[in-house]
């Protein structure tokens, strides 16, 4: 899915789980697990984006990753939008255009057929529309544009009786111009490629208060220029119906309630998972995001504490390397925690990793400046690094806080001795 050559999967395409993958070998968040459980080969992408429990663009990212990982496969699209973007024709099946034919025009049935088919497949990605490869250079884009113009420009049929085909031709030609203009401008082309290889960016919620697009206030705001508008159209590929939105908001509220309950019981992890789902269902509610931040902090604290306990156990088992790794992980959750930093500093000192040790010790001192022990550790580390002056400063600081500390005094004495030897 990373290569630009592949078009955005059609909304009606149904992803399915590929046979023979091992679920246990993948790290999935609860939300991702929920999404994965909804993939049954029956539900089209359009639906999954709505019911996946996470924002549509997140669904796209997950699916993209899983396709790359070989967990999920897409069946071939049903009609247009053949993955072979190079094919300008409607691939395989013929679009049912039988209704569109008109008698009494000057167009032959073949001409009508061609116009109706092309019109029915205007929603194809721009590359497919122009019938070019994603790697096509400017010349090739221009050639394709000229070729299609020769076929569909209204002037080709000037003076003939076209009936309903006159507006059809205009629509087709304007779409061709749009594709050509967007693809021949490097900036918009890059944007198109990005949105093809990723997913359409998030939608603005269609609530009246946020309906920014429409309110041009008669109108000091200049109208969106052509390219902008076309890109917006690209993004509005998927519009969520209001009833679905209401349903999603309701679900989000439920998850938020259960998150609160879990938090009350002190089960922060569970609370975090629930609130993540709430946000997935209603990514536009700031309250959920605030709650999530709170819960997240608690979850991290819990995890860090767990890790510290594990690290102590590892130390008892004489596995200093394991303990070090756990301190580091714990610090990724609570980077400023003085206790973890102090422990990590001492252990790193023992392991001879002075640079790292110094960093941890510095962090501990900063977080807890009134603790003599942290300065003593720092002093020890600095002495080993040969930074005598700095070591003396740190030890002095420690002695200022706790003047009687025997260990610090002996460390200071050792520092002085090295000097006298020299």
Interface residues toward another protein, by CB under 8 A: 139, 142-143, 146-147, 149-150, 153-156, 158-159, 170, 173-174, 177, 213-220, 222-226, 229
Write down the least CB distance from residue 106 to another protein, Å: 10
Write down the least CB distance from residue 173 to another protein, Å: 6
Residue nearer to another protein on the CB measure, 3 or 138 = 138
Residue nearer to another protein on the CB measure, 70 or 206 = 206
Residue nearer to another protein on the CB measure, 225 or 355 = 225
* Helix ranges (DSSP H) in 214-337: 226-235, 242-264, 268-281, 286-316, 320-333
Residue nearer to another protein on the CB measure, 224 or 244 = 224
Q: Give bridge partners of residue 73 from the DSSP assignment.
A: 16
CA atoms of 286 and 226, how far apart (whole Å): 33
| Torsion of the alpha carbons at 202, 206, 210 and 216, rounded to the nearest 10 | 100
Contact between residue 341 and residue 372 where contact means Cβ atoms under 8 Å apart: no
Name the DSSP letter for residue 24.
G
Which of 327, 373, 330, 369 is CA-nearest to residue 347? 327
Write down the least CB distance from residue 218 to another protein, Å: 5
Q: Using CA of residue 22, residue 27, residue 33, residue 36, what is the dihedral sign?
A: negative
CA atoms of 273 and 253, how far apart (whole Å): 14
Write down the least CB distance from residue 204 to another protein, Å: 15
Residue nearer to another protein on the CB measure, 151 or 294 = 151
CA atoms of 267 and 275, how far apart (whole Å): 12
Residue nearer to another protein on the CB measure, 159 or 404 = 159
Write down the least CB distance from residue 159 to another protein, Å: 6
Write down the least CB distance from residue 143 to another protein, Å: 7
Write down the least CB distance from residue 30 to another protein, Å: 41
CA atoms of 404 and 386, how far apart (whole Å): 25
CA atoms of 367 and 373, how far apart (whole Å): 13
Residue nearer to another protein on the CB measure, 156 or 290 = 156
Q: What backbone torsions phi and psi does residue 15 show, to the nearest 5 degrees?
A: -75, 150
User: Tokens 């900036």 identify what position?
Assistant: 187
């Amino acid at each position: 899915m990373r290569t630009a050559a592949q078009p955005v999967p059609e909304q009606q395409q149904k992803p399915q789980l590929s046979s023979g993958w091992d679920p246990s070998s993948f790290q999935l968040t609860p939300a991702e697990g929920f999404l994965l459980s909804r993939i049954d080969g029956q539900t089209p992408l359009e639906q999954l984006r709505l019911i996946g429990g996470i924002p549509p663009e997140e669904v796209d990212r997950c699916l993209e990753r899983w396709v790359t990982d070989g967990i999920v496969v897409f069946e071939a699209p049903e009609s247009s939008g053949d993955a072979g973007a190079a094919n300008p024709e409607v691939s395989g099946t013929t679009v049912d255009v039988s209704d569109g034919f008109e008698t009494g025009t000057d167009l032959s049935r073949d001409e009508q057929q061609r116009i109706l088919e092309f019109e029915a497949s205007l929603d194809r990605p721009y590359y497919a529309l122009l019938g070019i490869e994603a790697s096509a250079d400017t010349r090739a884009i221009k050639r394709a544009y000229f070729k299609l113009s020769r076929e569909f420009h209204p002037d080709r049929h000037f003076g003939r009786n076209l009936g309903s085909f006159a507006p059809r031709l205009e629509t087709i030609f304007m779409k061709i111009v749009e594709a050509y203009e967007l693809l021949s401008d490097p900036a918009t082309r890059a944007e198109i490629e990005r949105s093809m290889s990723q997913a359409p960016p998030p939608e603005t919620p269609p609530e009246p208060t946020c309906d920014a697009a429409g309110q041009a206030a008669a109108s000091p705001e200049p109208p969106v220029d052509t390219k902008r508008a076309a890109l917006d159209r690209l993004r509005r590929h998927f519009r969520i119906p209001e009833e679905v939105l209401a349903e999603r908001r309701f679900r989000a509220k439920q998850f938020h309630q259960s998150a609160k309950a879990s938090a009350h019981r002190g089960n922060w992890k569970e609370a975090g998972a629930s609130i993540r789902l709430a946000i997935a269902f209603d990514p536009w509610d700031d309250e959920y995001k605030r709650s999530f931040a709170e819960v997240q902090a608690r979850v991290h604290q819990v995890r860090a504490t767990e890790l510290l306990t594990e690290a102590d156990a590892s130390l008892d088992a004489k596995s200093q390397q394991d303990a070090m790794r756990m301190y580091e992980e714990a610090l990724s959750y609570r980077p400023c925690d003085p206790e973890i930093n102090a422990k990590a500093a001492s252990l790193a000192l023992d392991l001879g990793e002075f640079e790292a040790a110094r960093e941890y010790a510095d962090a501990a001192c900063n977080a807890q400046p009134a603790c003599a022990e942290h300065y003593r550790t720092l002093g020890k580390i600095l002495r080993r690094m040969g930074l005598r002056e700095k070591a003396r400063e740190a030890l002095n600081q420690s002695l200022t806080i706790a003047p009687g500390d025997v260990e610090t005094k002996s460390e200071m004495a050792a520092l002085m001795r090295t000097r006298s030897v020299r």
